[in-house]
Chains A and B, each alone.
Chain A
Amino acid sequence: MFRAVFRLSATGARSLARSRPCYSAPLASRCYSHGKVETDEEFDARWVTYFSKPDIDAWELRKGMNTLIGYDLVPEAKILDSALRACRRLNDMASAIRILEAVKDKAGPHKDIYPYLIQELKPTLAELGISTPEELGIDRL
């Protein structure tokens, strides 16, 4: 969903490739690839499932997070919620804070994305007892 923001940005040729074509064809086949295109919802669902694994281990959390941050998009709140809960299962508070920092950095010049995400994640943050980097004062030097 936040990929809409990146459609017009100079960076991320990949995001341009994923943008909707000018004609509205309901089927998955587009003019630029043979394969089926994953929708935004499918992408989000896949990642939520990945982090929701009950016995997720630390490596899988790291790998998942690093891969997700590597994509040209800001992850949805529900994916981050799932990731933060995975941190809780792994008893890793520091990684939870790091994830929030990474997501803020990912938004780049779009300053309104991060506050929106924090607002969406507020219930989860309150439930798990995670402080945001701003509350801890580590977002400043």
Chain B
Amino acid sequence: MLRLTAERMGSLLARRAAMPLATSSARMASHGHEVATTVDMSKPLYYDRKDTPLPDRAYKDVLDTADKGLKQKEKGPWGQLSKEEKIALYRIMFCQTYAEMKQPSDEWKTVMGGIFILLGLTGLIVWWQSIYVYPERPRTFDEEWKAKQLKRMLDMRINPVEGFSAKWDYEKGQWK
């Protein structure tokens, strides 16, 4: 009986994991984007794009009787259509107006926030690491040791022609 429940948990988790993979373009609702279900890519698609004003199909393809009547009226002179009817016809054909398409979203705030949070987390990890992971500081980094090392290098005349010791003034006992 325990084995059975474990299998069911496994299949449930698998289905939940597969869900975001199966659905196309899911965005955070707070950004104001629509959450889309699976799209049949073999049929003409509707899309709102500024660079493609007329998409492959109308936005609403199933029309109720009111819309059908309006479509019939569209075949006559357009001067007889009222403003509301013209707007209704537009909304049948298209989902968003250009003004609505051009609306800025708040997505950049999420992106920047995410970047800073991750940078901060990384900083914390690096800090913890420098305390708990790094080995002891070698004694060769002490100021006293480094001074003695420097004196030794000058005494040995390291790179006396153009490099290290060439920059040391041996008469005056200081850097040139």
Smallest Cβ-Cβ distance to A58: which chain B residue: B54
For the residues of A in contact with B, the DSSP-based class is helix
Inside 8 A of A70's CB, which chain B residues have their CB? 51-52
Give A99-141 as 1s and 0s: 1 = Cβ < 8 Å from B's Cβ atoms: 1011011000000000000000000000011110101111111
Would you call B56 an interface residue if the criterion is a C-beta within 8 Å of the partner chain's C-beta atoms?
A: yes
Are B51 and A98 within 8 A (Cβ)?
A: no
Residue from B53, B75, B86, B99 with most neighbouring chain A CB atoms (10 Å) = B53
Give A61-87 as 1s and 0s: 1 = Cβ < 8 Å from B's Cβ atoms: 110011001100000000000000000
Known contacts A129-B80, A141-B100, A141-B103; is-contact A94 B93 (Cβ 8 Å): yes
Would you call A93 an interface residue if the criterion is a C-beta within 8 Å of the partner chain's C-beta atoms?
A: yes
Which interface class (under 10, 10 to 19, 20 to 34, 35 or more) fits B? 20 to 34
Are B97 and A88 within 8 A (Cβ)?
A: no
- Residues of B at the A interface (CB closer than 8 Å) are 50-56, 58, 74-75, 77-81, 83, 86-87, 89-90, 92-94, 97-100, 102-103
- Residues of A at the B interface (CB closer than 8 Å) are 61-62, 65-66, 69-70, 88, 91-95, 97-99, 101-102, 104-105, 128-131, 133, 135-141
